[in-house]
Amino acid sequence: MLAGIILWFGQQMILACDARCHKAWGINGRPREQLSDNEDDFAFLADHELGIAPKDPGTYEGTDGKPTDKDCRLNRWCARECERSVKVKPGEWIELPDFSKRLRNISPQ
């Protein structure tokens, strides 16, 4: 796990990720399967179902894109776009998404 302190809308937060940038597609670009007529009811595909993610998925936060080397990690793209990262308040438990299986966007009813 990789983690660092960031300023998020005026509050200190911890930005954490699994540091597997080669598997990061971005929250808006990760392949998914639609599960119902509800546009919000989908599952992100698991890592083993996908290949290596694009080096440049074409999304940016300001001038920050997906990190291309270790020195660029935990940038603005990571905080806003990366599906593998989470933001928590200092002292809170950090639980990263588990892409070893499909992840549903909403809980089944």
Could you give the CA distance from residue 41 to residue 39 in angstroms, rounded to a whole number? 6
Nearest to 15 by CA among 66, 76, 99, 105: 76
Domain boundaries, given as residue ranges, for the chain: 2-30+55-100
pTM higher than the cut 0.85: yes
Whether the per-residue pLDDT at 83 is higher than 80: the answer is yes
Average pLDDT, the chain: 96
Q: What is the pLDDT of residues 1-53, one digit of tens each?
A: 999 999 999 999 999 999 999 999 999 999 999 999 999 999 999 999 999 99
Task: Give the pLDDT score at 107.
Answer: 83
